[in-house]
């Protein structure tokens, strides 16, 4: 443990879970910048069609399709997953369960470098002849299965390859998450003493590992169709285009929860610490999470109500979809109940946690509309759906991500972030997020289709154009609102005031390690005596009671 590692082993080819977490975070943030750029270009084109985008130029329709495709691909697979799952999972799992590292540190390093390779492949795909993938992030064949239909050759092949590598990376990561949590828990850390974010992370890992397989098979078929001349998805060769949709969405819906659950986990960690109150209903939340995870495997065809599948299948899927609101409602109610009779401190992480909660509620409620098969006939593939999934995924990725990063920044970098800049960042983000995406619901109800480059080509959408312009202005302001975060993040890393071990007086184990924790994390492996949210416990004199603090000497001796 004490051996000195050189530069390469310390910063690049590190097996330390904390360094790997930071590597994922860095790459995720870089991709977020690209994702933000694609959003800017698309929004400008939609508001002011066929005018020159400031700082870029004109946007041709096929380039617009590439933007649409890459925006989705990047944000889901190269921003949300590396940040929510890989960064926080890697950083928190060993620290929160009281382990010195992951179960397979070298596999962990390999996971990151496979992800880096996936990033490289995706990056290269922008520059190959024919351009990057432009068949939508869902890549529906036959459009994606034959180069003639899009004019994109290697762009889509590399896109498939990048996704396959990304899946392999997260499969290895998932194996590590699960094995670590099962096997490396500190003495006394039973499953029902695990912090909720760990439950969320491992549920997400299981969902990912059990749902991605069919899509890997599907991706193999798609790549074979494009390169070897097979006809899995091409009807002229006896293939079935809808097969891809089933394989994609069988993965796609669990994937939503792969992103969402860790996000909710961050809220569930932040909220009790700044409410000074135990999370309300620890076990019901765990059972709900598992129930939602299981249900997520039998809802996938709600993406395909009007896809041409047998209409008799629609109602069963509609019912399971709408019923999945029950476990999530429970988690939301539990969060609200945690605030009841609390002592709420409005720190930056808490503001972002509350932001996640309030935004996620709206995203969940609009999901009921989408889940209702008859309503979906009309709103399918409109901006109502776009608004809905930005409410759920933006809340999980960015609001919850910011809650997590501002909460654990002291532990990650040993310094405090600036609260004033943090609050400015929160309020700007919260206001402009809602100003961007609430109007988008109405544009969708007006009938505006997704993935069209120019709404002015349609008579019935012309009256919506002022709303589109308003959305674009707010979206640009939302992007600009991230500057305070970047400044705060970089400045605090170097100049922030030095953080103590437990600046928030929180209970979970990571706060009993030094800030930042050294390689190996703990001086001695902690012993766990209680559940993670014993705030304001009548047993303690202070309003917090860490998991590893023995109340009496005899309790310590027994362990």
Partner 1 sequence: MNSTAETITATGIPSGKIGVWWFLASEITVFGGFIASYIVVRLGSSGWSEAAAHLNFSLALVNTFVLLTSSLTMVLAFAAVEGGNRKRLRTYLWLTILLGLTFLAIKAFEYGGEIAAGFTPGAGIFWSFYYGMTGLHALHVLGGVVVNLILLFATLRGLLKPNEHRVELAGLYWHFVDIVWIFLFPLLYLT
Partner 2 sequence: MLNWFPENISTFGGEIDSLFYLILYITGAWFIATEGLIVFFLIRFRRRQGSKAAYLPGETLRQASWILVPCVVVLVLDLWIDFRGAAVWAKVKGGMPPSDLRIQVTAKQFNWEIVYPGPDGKLGTADDLLMENELHVPAGKVVHVVLKSKDVIHSFFLPNLRLKQDIVPGREIEAWFEATKPGKYEIPCAELCGFGHSGMNGWLHVHTADDYAKWVREQWPSEK
Interacting positions 288-347 with partner 2 (CB under 8 A): 306-308, 311, 314-315, 318-319, 322-323, 325-326, 329-330, 332-334, 336-337, 339-346
Residue 266: phi and psi, rounded to 5, are -65, -40
Nearest residue (CB) to partner 2, 347 versus 482: 347
From residue 94 to residue 133, what is the string marking binding to partner 1 with x (rule CB under 8 A)? -----xxx-xxxxx--------------------------
Choose among partner 2, partner 1, none what residue 47 binds, the Cβ cut-off being 5 to 8 Å by kind: none
Give the separation between CA 41 and CA 453, rounded to whole angstroms.
11
Query: Within 210-249, which residues bind partner 2 (CB under 8 A)?
Result: 235-236, 239-242
- Window contacting partner 2 (CB under 8 A); options: 28-36, 98-106, 357-365, 430-438: 357-365
Q: Name the token pair of 402.
A: 């910011």
Query: Within 174-203, which residues bind partner 1 (CB under 8 A)?
Result: 174-176, 178-180, 182-185, 189
Interface pick for partner 1 out of 147, 224, 337, 477 (rule CB under 8 A): 224
Q: 33: which residues sit within 8 A by CB, 6+ positions away?
A: none
Give the separation between CA 9 and CA 185, rounded to whole angstroms.
26
Choose among partner 2, partner 1, none what residue 218 binds, the Cβ cut-off being 5 to 8 Å by kind: partner 1
Give the separation between CA 160 and CA 481, rounded to whole angstroms.
33
Choose among partner 2, partner 1, none what residue 447 binds, the Cβ cut-off being 5 to 8 Å by kind: partner 2
Query: Within 8-37, which residues bind partner 2 (CB under 8 A)?
Result: none
Nearest residue (CB) to partner 1, 180 versus 321: 180
Nearest residue (CB) to partner 1, 55 versus 229: 229
Helices (H), 372-464: 373-379, 383-394, 400-413, 419-445
The full length of the chain comes to 559
Interface pick for partner 2 out of 104, 147, 276, 434 (rule CB under 8 A): 276
Rounded least distance, CB 378 to partner 2, Å? 5
Helices (H), 195-281: 196-227, 241-275
Query: Within 15-34, which residues bind partner 1 (CB under 8 A)?
Result: 15
Q: Is residue 283 a contact point for partner 2 (CB under 8 A)?
A: yes
Give the separation between CA 103 and CA 266, rounded to whole angstroms.
23
Interface pick for partner 2 out of 89, 98, 174, 278 (rule CB under 8 A): 278
Give the separation between CA 548 and CA 531, rounded to whole angstroms.
10
Rounded least distance, CB 259 to partner 1, Å? 18
Beta strands in 504-555 (DSSP E): none
Give the separation between CA 134 and CA 151, rounded to whole angstroms.
9
- Window contacting partner 1 (CB under 8 A); options: 205-213, 391-399, 422-430, 466-474: 205-213
Beta carbons within 10 angstroms of residue 542's beta carbon = 11
Rounded least distance, CB 129 to partner 2, Å? 16
Beta carbons within 10 angstroms of residue 263's beta carbon = 32
Beta carbons within 10 angstroms of residue 132's beta carbon = 24
- Assign residue 451 a region: left if phi > 0, alpha if psi is -120 to 50, beta otherwise? left
Q: DSSP state, 458?
A: S
Query: Within 142-181, which residues bind partner 1 (CB under 8 A)?
Result: 171, 174-176, 178-180
Nearest residue (CB) to partner 1, 213 versus 503: 213
Q: Is residue 42 a contact point for partner 2 (CB under 8 A)?
A: no
Give the separation between CA 243 and CA 233, rounded to whole angstroms.
7
Give the separation between CA 549 and CA 537, rounded to whole angstroms.
13
Beta carbons within 10 angstroms of residue 432's beta carbon = 20
On the CB side of 256, CA atoms within 13 Å amount to: 25
Interface pick for partner 2 out of 284, 503, 514, 520 (rule CB under 8 A): 284
Q: Is residue 353 a contact point for partner 1 (CB under 8 A)?
A: no
Closest Cα to residue 85, out of 13, 156, 154, 166? Answer: 166
Choose among partner 1, partner 2, none what residue 125 binds, the Cβ cut-off being 5 to 8 Å by kind: none
Q: Give the footprint of partner 1 on this chain (CB under 8 A).
A: 1, 15, 99-101, 103-107, 171, 174-176, 178-180, 182-185, 189, 209-218, 220-221, 224-225, 228-232, 237-240, 243, 247, 250, 520
């Amino acid at each position: 443990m004490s051996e000195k590692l050189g530069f390469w082993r310390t910063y690049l080819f590190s097996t330390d879970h904390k360094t790997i977490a930071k590597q994922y975070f860095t790459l995720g943030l870089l991709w977020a910048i690209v994702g933000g750029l694609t959003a800017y270009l698309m929004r400008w084109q939609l508001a002011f069609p066929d005018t020159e985008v400031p700082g870029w130029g004109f946007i041709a329709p096929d380039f617009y399709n590439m933007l649409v495709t890459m925006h989705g691909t990047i944000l889901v697979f190269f921003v949300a997953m590396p940040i929510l799952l890989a960064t926080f999972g890697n950083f928190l799992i060993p620290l929160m369960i009281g382990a010195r590292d992951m179960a397979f540190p070298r596999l962990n390093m390999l996971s990151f470098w496979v992800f880096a390779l996936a990033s490289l492949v995706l990056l290269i795909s922008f520059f190959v002849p024919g351009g990057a993938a432009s068949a939508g992030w869902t890549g529906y064949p036959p459009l994606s299965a034959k180069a003639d239909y899009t004019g994109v050759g290697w762009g889509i092949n590399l896109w498939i390859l990048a996704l396959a590598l990304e899946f392999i990376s997260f499969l290895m990561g998932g194996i590590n998450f699960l094995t670590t949590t099962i096997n490396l828990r500190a003495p006394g850390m039973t499953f029902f003493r695990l912090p909720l974010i760990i439950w969320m992370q491992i549920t997400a890992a299981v969902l990912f590992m059990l749902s991605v397989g069919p899509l890997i098979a599907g991706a193999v078929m798609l790549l074979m169709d494009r390169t070897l001349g097979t006809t899995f998805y091409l009807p002229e060769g006896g293939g079935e285009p809808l097969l891809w949709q089933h394989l994609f969405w069988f993965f796609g819906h669990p994937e939503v929860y792969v992103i969402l659950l860790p996000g909710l986990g961050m809220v569930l960690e932040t909220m009790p610490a700044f409410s000074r109150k135990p999370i309300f209903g620890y076990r019901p939340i765990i059972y709900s999470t598992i129930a939602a995870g299981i249900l997520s495997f039998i809802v996938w065809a709600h993406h395909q109500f009007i896809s041409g599948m047998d209409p008799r299948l629609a109602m069963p899927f509609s019912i399971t979809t709408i019923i999945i609101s029950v476990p999530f409602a429970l988690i939301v109610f539990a969060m609200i109940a945690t605030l009841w009779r609390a002592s709420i401190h409005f720190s930056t992480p808490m503001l972002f946690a509350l932001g996640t909660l309030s935004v996620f509620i709206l995203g969940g409620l609009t999901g009921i509309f989408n889940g209702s098969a008859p309503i979906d006939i009309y709103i399918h593939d409109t901006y109502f759906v776009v608004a809905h999934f930005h409410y759920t995924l933006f809340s999980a990725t960015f609001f919850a991500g910011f809650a997590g990063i501002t909460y654990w920044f002291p532990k990650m970098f040993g310094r405090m972030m600036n609260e004033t800049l943090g609050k400015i960042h929160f309020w700007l983000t919260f206001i402009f997020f809602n100003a961007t995406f609430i109007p988008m619901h109405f544009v969708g109800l007006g009938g505006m289709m997704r993935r069209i480059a120019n709404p002015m080509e349609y008579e019935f959408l012309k009256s919506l154009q002022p709303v589109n312009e308003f959305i674009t202005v707010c979206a640009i302001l939302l992007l600009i609102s991230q500057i305070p975060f970047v400044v705060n993040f970089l400045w605090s890393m170097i100049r922030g005031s030095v953080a103590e071990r437990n600046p928030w007086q929180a209970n979970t184990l990571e706060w009993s390690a030094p800030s930042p924790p050294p390689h190996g994390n703990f001086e001695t492996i902690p012993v766990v005596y209680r559940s993670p949210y014993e705030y304001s416990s009548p047993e303690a004199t202070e309003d917090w009671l860490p998991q590893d603090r023995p109340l009496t000497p005899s309790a310590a001796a027994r362990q």
